[in-house]
A = this chain, B = another copy of it.
Amino acid sequence: MGGNSFGKIFKITTFGESHGVGIGVVIDGCPSKIPLSEKDFEYAMARRKPGASPADTLRREQDYVEIISGVFKGFTTGTPITLFIRNLDIDSSPYERIKNIFRPGHADYTYFKKYGHVDYRGGGRASARETAARVAAGVVADKIISPIGVNVIGYTIEMGGIKAKNIFIDKINESPFLCPDIDASKKIEKLIDVVRKEGDSIGGIVEIRVIGCPAGLGEPVFDKLDADIAKAIMSVGAVKGVEVGLGFSSAKLKGSQNNDPIGIDGFKSNNAGGILGGISNGDDIIIKAAIKPIPSISKEQDTIDKQGNPVKLKLKGRYDVSAIPRIIPVLEAMIKIVIADHYLRFRLNKWNGGFKI
């Protein structure tokens, strides 16, 4: 049973493999009459594109988003929106050498166990390339939530163990790692240089903040807003942990410290991260995601092949040193999709003597 759809009303279904024809997404459930053009995708795709940051690889995809369906004369029609990104810069030959070897930290082993055979070219469906379709879908989601004033911003708060001490949102774009603390950003830049020479990789922590989200979004008891966000974030490869508000830190506090008092102007603190009982409370929604170091490293690793023979694996070529910052627009996109979906769901909750049309 497939698992390539996400969302209940604003529902996306992604498809495609790293070295196939291309990747894409069908969005079913987007309202009609929303302005949408191929130009709208350029900025977001460029942010996710390889090569924009010192932490990146050399694959150079233009990642041009083609609108295949669902838009007529510049406006959505209410029918399925299909977005397609053709794979252009493909060289599958490096994968031939290792096609029978399970790369540690990758999905090769589990895909093989599950499906019996696997598209080994560049990770196939398990490649991070799959996330380009999520970013494209996020652009459409943004068209639903930005008119109501919702803004989703992600940034790096830790990378390779180096923490941002200050968070100045307006500084994010000055850092090649989207780190809002320029001092930390400079230290990260040096660390990456060292790690790259070692042929190793690093991870980090990304924080995403949803500003301007109205109160009332989220559907208890299972489709709570934080539950759906947790799934959305954890479904992105490389993510190993999710926190809402204080997250694991709240486990160390007392109730009297952790509860957010309420005043006549709203909540006096935001330890909850903007969500109470699975429903947005009107404050900023604050999410943290733990990003593991990229598993593709040049150092020699112990593994086995499909026949179970031990292998010393040394990957060749140049890889990203970190999934950060390229993963940030992906995480932002997933949050946008959750908020758009729940915003549409939210509109169904209020009864007004018959929802007069």
Contact = CB atoms under 8 A, between A and B. Distances in A.
A217 B235 CA distance: 14
Interface string A269-309: 00011011111111000000011111111010111100011
A282 to B, nearest CB: 7
Contacts of A16: 68-69, 80, 82
Interface string A215-254: 1111111111011111111110100111111111011111
A211 interface: no
Given A147-B354, A263-B304, A357-B148, A107 B278 contact: yes
Contacts of A254: 160, 195, 198, 200-202, 293, 297
Interface stretch (A5-13, A47-55, A182-190): A5-13
A126 B220 contact: yes
A356 interface: yes
A290 B356 CA distance: 35
A270 B250 CA distance: 27
Contact of A113 (B23, B107, B216, B301): B216
A256 to B, nearest CB: 5
A64 interface: no
A34 B351 CA distance: 7
A168 interface: no
A255 B293 contact: yes
A273 to B, nearest CB: 7
15 contacts: A2-B219, A3-B223, A17-B69, A17-B79, A21-B66, A33-B115, A77-B119, A105-B260, A111-B279, A113-B216, A113-B279, A161-B252, A254-B293, A254-B297, A263-B304
A1 B29 contact: yes
Contacts of A278: 107, 110, 235, 237
B205 A277 contact: no
Contact of A241 (B26, B223, B243): B243
Nearest to A82: B15
A242 B245 contact: no
A219 B3 CA distance: 5
A251 B110 contact: no
A18 to B, nearest CB: 11
B31 A102 contact: no
